[in-house]
Chain A
Amino acid sequence: MHELTLAESVLEIVGAAARRAGASRVTGVRLAIGALAHVESDTLQYCCEVASRDTIAADARFSIERPPGRAWCAACAAEVGLERWGMPCPQCQGFDLSITDGDQMRVLDIDIA
């Protein structure tokens, strides 16, 4: 359940930023969790809601964007879409893929009041 650890990271980042901005509360948190990221996004969202209790972000709405997976296929010399790890290149069915997008786990922005 490393989602709870990651949710605690979210709230550390959010809390530090909000406090430095002089906010009294956080009303929204927007995350980017790529389709290839090493986390279950529904679980992370739930863990954020649990971990935010008794914090400055207790009333925040957590929303998660899911950037799609992208990879560079060495055989095709092209960037291709990749639904998840372990799947082949949709063009050549090869596996010589290196990720170019979709594995991020990031706090994008927060709404403060």
Chain B
Amino acid sequence: MCSSCGCGHDAVSLDGKPLDHPHPHDHGLHRRSARSGAAAPTGAYRPLDAAHAPGLDAGRTLKIEQDLLAANDALAAKNRARLARAGIFALNFVSSPGSGKTSLLVDTITRWQHGPIAVIEGDQQTSNDAARIRATGATAVQINTGRGCHLDAHMVGHALAQLERQAALTDNSLLLIENVGNLVCPAAFDLGEAHKVVILSVTEGEDKPLKYPDMFRAADLLLLSKTDLLPHVDFDVEQAIAYARQVRPELPVIALSVKSGAGMAEWLAWLSRGQQAAAAHAG
């Protein structure tokens, strides 16, 4: 995340270049960079805004009561407000590696007939996925997280700025964010999306929702992918849906295949409804 202080996400890059920005976050923690009157307190640190006279207390307990994800959530709220103003319907695609996320995005872009789609790709390494997206004609920004196992709201804020510079954030359009393939960590990090969409391919086990409940609990839509392979695998569709609804009651499900095209009309209709709702609330 930060190339100048080494804290956190020093290995993160955007289209191959390190993130570069003034320092909005607090480096007072690091002795090597601490200096008097460094970063101004942000809204996230409200509980301690009361003034304390330095050095007067020998030892005491300070009440903090602050959520660990407060800083990420505040940045996610900024991203969400920015997208809402433009009427952009943004989705955060999460799944294990190899569930067919990029293939689904490519096929969706190819079939979509309601305006431009911008894409943010998240991977630890390589820009292969962004290249696949760009081959469709859509604009894509590639975030490489280095060792990081998930996208966060800070990275996505930078990617949004990059898309804006490329004039690729069109009002009332779609923004598809492909998270790092990982069924664990991305669940905790709000990016500012309208919905998390979890993809489960039929070549995986139908009990994945029970093994990785946080992700399925965080999602607003389950896409069962690669259904063309169902005749060749022992995947119980009804059981998978039942498991998913144990952790997320009433989770909507669309079964689809980019190979056969089955379910794609239903998926595109879902996207179109979301886009229209986002556009209706823009401004």
Q: Which residues from chain A sit less than 8 Å from chain B, CB to CB?
A: 1-2, 5-6, 8-22, 24, 27-28, 38-39, 54-57, 84-86, 88, 95-97, 104-113
Given A2-B184, A16-B41, A106-B67, A54 contacting B32 (CB threshold 8 A): yes
Give the interface residue-count category, chain B.
Answer: 35 or more
What CA separation (Å) do A2 and B64 show in the bound complex?
A: 22
Looking at chain A's contact residues, the main secondary structure is mixed
Output the least CB separation between B195 and chain A (Å): 18
Output the least CB separation between A100 and chain B (Å): 14
CB–CB B246/A86 < 8 A: yes
Interface positions, chain B 170-222, Cβ under 8 Å from A, are: 184-185, 187-189, 209-210, 213-214, 217
Closest to B26 in A: A16
CB–CB B29/A107 < 8 A: no
Output the least CB separation between B96 and chain A (Å): 16
Which residues of chain B are within 8 angstroms of A1 by Cβ–Cβ distance? 149, 185
Of B45-53, B229-237, B255-263, B267-275, which stretch is located at the interface?
B45-53
Closest to A13 in B: B66
Which residues of chain B are within 8 angstroms of A109 by Cβ–Cβ distance? 61-65
CB–CB A110/B29 < 8 A: no
Q: Which residues from chain B sit less than 8 Å from chain A, CB to CB?
A: 7-8, 25-26, 28-32, 34, 38-39, 41, 45, 48, 52-72, 148-150, 152, 184-185, 187-189, 209-210, 213-214, 217, 243, 245-247, 249
Which residues of chain B are within 8 angstroms of A55 by Cβ–Cβ distance? 29-31
Output the least CB separation between B249 and chain A (Å): 5
Given A21-B48, A85-B214, A9 contacting B68 (CB threshold 8 A): yes
Given A21-B52, A112-B62, A107 contacting B68 (CB threshold 8 A): yes
Which residues of chain A are within 8 angstroms of B38 by Cβ–Cβ distance? 19
CB–CB B8/A85 < 8 A: no
CB–CB A88/B29 < 8 A: no
Residue in A2, A24, A110 whose beta carbon sits within 8 Å of that of B188 in the complex = A2
CB–CB B246/A15 < 8 A: no
A-B contact pairs, 23 of them (CB 8 A): A2-B150, A5-B150, A9-B68, A12-B7, A13-B66, A15-B26, A16-B29, A16-B45, A18-B62, A22-B52, A22-B54, A22-B56, A38-B188, A54-B31, A54-B32, A56-B34, A86-B213, A108-B64, A109-B64, A110-B62, A111-B59, A111-B62, A112-B57
